[in-house]
Structures are given as structure tokens and as C-alpha cells.
């Protein structure tokens, strides 16, 4: 296959993503960015005084995953919980405006919306640096999962979607009975899982997409080298009995593990300076799942997700990748030969 033929094939897959249908279930997060400019040192304490410029609220977590799918033209149903507060309302409104079906978002008065506030400071016309992050989270001792309501929402979405995408940040939505419900569906529809701390609970699903830290915890292995990463991926593939493991390794790229074929290694796409990796994992799992539903083989879907991540890390905050950006990134990054061989195996 020539580079030109490969680019055309990848472009066709991106086009076919439009119209796919996916239910995203997981923890919705409000990412609040407070932009400031430095003024002087405080006389009250050894801290910097900054002047407020503006604030920006961006959907994060499962909301960012849903927003990335919608940006690629996918029909998205989102099952998530928010607090009865301004942050939850703002994120819900943004998702609805992006085309996400938000009828599965439950507004709760017994917990706040998970909110991560980042204070950024910098001079005008220069990239601002993060000074501090303030997290507002539900207190586990004071909130309880709404298991029945969550499963009811999933059951309403099930007839309308071709796959489930789990975005688990280990808050209170994905209680054990909800996870069991999703695993039971894995025999009929693909279930793709991005889980921060609970990968072992998702054995038997189609695909898991851990980063190195998550893979270390789940595999019980410290990753300090390429060989360690290969061993961790193999362990997860076998021990969790999943269809595939897509291991993201930051500056070291990705590795794909699937039964019966050798692992495929992917270099990082693009050579630009990384601006912000926040939410890149959400983009990876979104693009990967959409590509699979568009007919891409596992190795090809992984490469497409790699290219999508290269787009969003050049933007500040949890960002989206639109089809035109993805097409351009893929045109500049031919499918690696190892991925072609694996796809043809």
C-alpha cells in the first residue's frame, strides 16, 4: 500500500465515523480555567498576587469524551451525574449545544458537580502557566450511587447505540452493579473502557485504554522501559481476558496488544511543542471507538486515535479534534508498516 493509498483509506474511515452511535457512561467533570496576569508579590504571605482576566468552563472527563465523539460526527448519548449547581448546568448546556443527547444526565442535589479549577498566570501574548488546581468532589461518606437510576438510563440508551464507552474517574456513578451490567452487554455490543483506578473490574470487555500509570497498578508491574511496557500489556490482555489493550505512553507513543498477533508499537504523531495533555486520553478513546465502528481494524483505529491525540495536545485544556484536523494529521502521518502488517494478519 502506498502512502497516498493509506491516507485515502484513513480519510474514508474518518468520513464514515459520522452517523455512528455510542453511549458514553461515566464521570462528568467541569474544568474551570481562571486566566490571570501576574501583578506583584503579596506583603501578607510569600505568594504572587494576580489580576483576574477571564474564566473559561470546559467539559471534562466523560463530558470531554462525549464532546470529542460529537465533534467527529458521532451520535452520542451520555449517562452521567451532575450536581444541582451552576457548573453542572453550564456543562450540560455546552454538551447539548455540541449535539450530545443529555437526557441521560441526572441532576442531583446531594452532591456537587466534580469541578477542577486551574488558576493560570502569565503576561499578555505569552503562554500562561498553571499556579494551582483546586478540586471540588463528592464526599464518599455523604453520597451514594444511584444504581437503579443509572441502569435505567443505560437501558433506555441501549437500543439506540452500537457500543458503550466507559469513562471511569472513580467517583460514584460506576458502582459495582453498573459495571456488572456493562460487562454483561459485552457479548452483544463492544464495550470500550478508560478507567482511572479500576481496570481489573472490567474483565471481559472489548478494549481497555490505560496509560502507563493505570497499567502499572492493574498489572502489578513498574514500567521503566519498553520491555516493561510490553510485559504489562501482555499481562493485562491475558489476566483481564479483554479483546485488546491500547496502552498510551505519552512521549513514547502507544502500544496495541491483541490476542493472536504480535504487539504493535506506534510513535508519537507530529513534531510540534506539546501545550497541554489534559484530556488527551479522552480523545484517544473517543477516536478509537468511533474508528472501530466505522470499520477500522484494531491497528488502524489505534493509529487514528494517536493522530487525534496529536491534535488536542497542541491546545489548552480538554480539547476536541474535528474531522478536518484529524484528516490533516493523518495525511502527514502515514500508517506505520507494522500496523499494516498486523491489520492484514
Answer whether residue 3 shows pLDDT above 90: no
Is 147 in contact with 177 (CB distance < 8 Å)? yes
The pair phi, psi for residue 168, each rounded to 5°, is -105, 110
pLDDT of residue 105: 97
pLDDT in tens, 69-91: 999 999 999 999 999 999 999 99
pLDDT of residue 43: 95
282 catalytically annotated: yes
Q: Which of 27, 101, 194, 282 is catalytic?
A: 282
Is 233 in contact with 247 (CB distance < 8 Å)? yes
Three-state DSSP state, 209: coil
Of 1-10, 129-138, 157-166, 170-179, which range is least confident? 1-10
Helices (H), 98-191: 147-157, 176-185
Give the domain ranges of the chain: 3-29+60-112+139-344
C-alpha cell at 5: 493509498
d(CA 18, CA 30): 26
d(CA 66, CA 59): 9
Average pLDDT of the residues in 131-153 = 89
3-29+60-112+139-344 in CATH: which number? 3.40.1190.20
* Host H or E run for residue 30: strand 28-41
Amino acid at each position: 500500500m502506498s502512502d497516498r493509498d493509506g491516507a485515502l483509506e484513513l480519510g474514508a474511515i474518518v468520513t464514515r465515523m459520522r452517523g455512528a452511535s455510542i453511549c458514553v457512561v461515566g464521570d462528568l467533570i467541569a474544568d474551570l480555567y481562571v486566566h490571570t496576569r501576574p501583578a506583584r508579590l503579596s506583603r501578607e504571605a510569600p505568594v504572587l498576587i494576580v489580576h483576574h482576566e477571564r474564566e473559561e468552563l470546559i467539559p471534562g472527563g466523560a463530558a470531554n469524551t462525549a464532546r470529542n465523539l460529537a465533534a467527529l460526527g458521532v451520535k452520542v448519548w451520555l449517562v452521567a451525574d451532575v450536581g444541582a449547581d451552576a457548573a453542572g448546568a453550564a456543562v450540560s448546556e455546552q454538551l447539548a449545544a455540541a449535539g450530545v443527547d443529555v437526557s441521560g444526565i441526572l441532576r442531583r442535589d446531594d452532591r456537587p458537580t466534580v469541578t477542577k479549577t486551574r488558576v493560570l498566570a502569565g503576561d499578555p501574548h505569552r503562554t500562561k502557566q498553571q499556579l494551582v488546581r483546586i478540586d471540588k468532589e463528592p464526599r464518599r461518606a455523604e453520597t451514594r450511587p444511584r444504581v437503579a437510576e443509572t441502569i435505567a438510563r443505560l437501558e433506555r440508551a441501549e437500543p439506540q447505540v452500537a457500543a458503550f464507552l466507559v469513562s471511569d474517574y472513580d467517583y460514584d456513578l460506576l458502582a459495582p452493579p453498573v459495571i456488572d451490567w456493562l460487562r454483561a452487554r459485552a457479548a452483544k455490543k463492544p464495550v470500550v473502557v478508560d478507567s482511572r483506578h479500576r481496570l481489573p473490574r472490567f474483565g471481559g470487555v472489548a478494549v481497555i485504554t490505560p496509560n502507563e500509570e493505570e497499567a502499572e497498578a492493574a498489572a502489578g508491574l513498574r514500567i521503566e522501559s519498553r520491555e516493561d511496557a510490553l510485559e504489562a500489556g501482555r499481562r493485562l490482555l491475558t489476566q483481564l481476558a479483554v479483546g485488546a489493550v491500547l496502552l498510551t505512553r505519552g512521549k513514547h507513543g502507544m502500544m496495541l496488544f491483541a490476542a493472536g498477533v504480535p504487539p504493535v508499537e506506534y510513535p508519537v504523531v507530529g513534531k510540534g511543542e506539546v501545550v497541554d495533555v489534559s484530556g488527551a486520553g479522552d480523545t484517544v478513546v473517543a477516536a478509537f471507538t468511533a474508528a472501530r465502528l466505522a470499520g477500522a481494524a484494531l491497528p488502524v483505529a489505534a493509529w487514528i486515535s494517536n493522530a487525534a491525540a496529536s491534535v488536542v495536545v497542541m491546545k489548552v485544556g480538554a480539547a476536541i479534534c474535528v474531522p478536518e484536523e484529524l484528516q490533516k494529521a493523518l495525511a502527514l502521518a502515514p500508517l506505520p508498516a507494522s500496523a499494516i502488517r498486523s491489520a492484514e494478519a
